Chains A and B, each alone.
Chain A
Amino acid sequence: MCLNHNELAQNPSHFEDSEEANQAPAHRDIAWNDYKDLIKGMRFFDPHIHMVSRTTDDYQAMNQAGIVALIEPAFWVGQPRTGLSTFKDYYSSLVGWERFRSSQFGIKHYCTMGLNSREANNEPLAEQVMEILPLYIYKEGVVGVGEIGFDDQTPAEEKYYRLQLELAKEAKLPVQIHTPHRDKKKGTERSMAIALEHGIDPSWVIVDHNNEETVKSVLDQGFYAAFTIYPFTKMGNERMVKVVEQYGPERIMINSAADWGISDPLAIPKTAALMKMRGIPDETIRLVTYQNAIDAFGQSGQIDVTDFESGYAVDQTEKFHGNSILRGGQQPAPVKDFLVIN
């Protein structure tokens, strides 16, 4: 399998003379066994992923692929919530059970807390959420206020976006901005303008879900530009490689935003492998898949890299509130070496 597309292109073998054969595999064509050697020894930080929607298999695969830490932003769970209690339970799970579950698969879990833009449109409920939000944003391991910003770009969304920017300012926390799927360019510009209007230092703001149309303005204004490698709807990772080739690694970070949709929790390692194939330097890959996210969200004072930089120790016999991830009678991993599975 071709390890370096550029090298091959310069020196094709007899068997690889067609244009098609010279193409590096696309995101969806490369399997773990094909790319694991390319990213061997690399470690990754996914600054945006919704693990509450993901399975144990995902955690195991992420850990195997070198993801040592992640950030789970508070978001929309897919259907409208009927009351404050479900918000409380959801927020509590982000700092509680989900963080514990993640630790059991060797991945350090952080989160950002916020009222999602889509949910800002239910104003009576939004008001109640805003009352309890301060009790969550100061919790340990909360590395930012997010993901907030615009969805439909309604006045209610703007109102709660502004209120949450003020909360972030007071709590001295970075802000993670969700940019809208529709009318993205305008929504992104508006989000940044409002953040600046509130006197927030752009280097404390991570603008998410960028694309080729938005990246220049975001970087030029001093914000962090995050890219979501999400099949079909957001960035593809071949496009991502080109963005990095064009703009370099400064203030750029990559995430998967994997959630309940058709998404890929291995988007970062896969993109790293693709970057490696395309000859992007290791240090650039390290910055956009690991370090920049830590620099940006680490401004919260809540990220201690010694917790994960040398791997993350797992003890699956540990318990959370007396509960283990292990279902009745299961043995802690690893069990693969044994013939008899108890």
Chain B
Amino acid sequence: MTTPRPPYLAVAVTGAGWHPLAWREPDARPAELLSAKYWTEVVGVADRARIDLVTIADTFRRRPPTTDDIDRPISELAAGRLDSVLVASRVAPTTAHVGLLPTVIATHTEPFHSAKAIATLDYVGRARAGVTVDVAAGAVEARLFGRRTLPTDVHRRDDELFAEATEYAEVLRRLWDSWEDDAEIRDVETGRFVDRDKLHYIDFEGRFFSVRGPSITPRPPQGRPVVAAATTSAAASVAFAGASADIAFVGAHDRVAAARAVDAVRAAQSTAGRDGDTVHVFADLLVHLDDRESAAADRRARLDLGLGTPYTGGTPVFAGTVAGLADLIAELTDPAVGVTGIRLRTATIPHDLLQITTRLVPELERRKLFRVSDTTSTLRDRLGLGTAANRYTRTSATTGGARQ
């Protein structure tokens, strides 16, 4: 990035918030977590605050797997969740600006179905769609599908799952490209609805699956919706992000860790032959926010005490004031570090979400650490990803040559 621009701001939402006991907060609405009303309000708040994008977490489990392991009965946690692609679709017509990134789990599912679902999300959301591609590493998920056992060795398992996810993301993009933008011709003269020369078989043959194509859904408005990937301590997850993502989410608690994470993503990007591609690195933070530092620390302590263990969700945790968080954001997104965005995981909803939208955003704006993006632009444009060239479209020069 030669021209530093203010960092992008993303919010990650799930249930009543990321903290397992968020549902017990006085302002929580635990009985409504599965309703359209709840989700339109939550995403609507982010939309009106002009947050750049919202990621909606997902898993096939009743609860996120990191908390399943906590020694506490599930009956005391906010269990039960909805398909995040459907949640994103439901809120798309009621929001206007915010990027919508549901999660698609590459393990056990069909890329053909996901490609058309995310393409359609781009249509119903008017060019604001993206997707976080994730994996399901557990035997619990495998039993829900009953079709496959995963390697027991953790490294082999991760290598296999992220290699599969890499194929999956490749198939998504090929299917999105499989219709050229002007394939629909409606030529009454010849009776042809489409120009079949502008529809392409993708003929993907991989290690894990093969897909013939073309997609059933025409190329979405953005061409290629934004693909995001979360990195973990597994090297394979970084390799996957470098090979496949437009946005990599990394955990980094300070500028040194952040710079190291950026380097790792760039190296993976290079290994995958994507040096020229823009890959944003967003630093992930779990946030507890309040007016005073002590109040935020108390909130966090109270929630963790109830849980019986400090909760992190595998993410650096910030508990403090919006001013303190703005300081940390400034540090992490210093142009020398290379982090181009921040993703905030709201510990509780609505409290922490409202702290972000009503207080943090103005504070960041004041410090020129946040800029309201052009509200009419596509999500790709907003992220500076440029127009997604269609791999199957011949340039006019090539076409001319072929004709001679």
Q: Do chains A and B stick together as partners?
A: no
Please give the residue numbers on chain B whose beta carbons come within 8 Å of chain A beta carbons, in ascending order: none
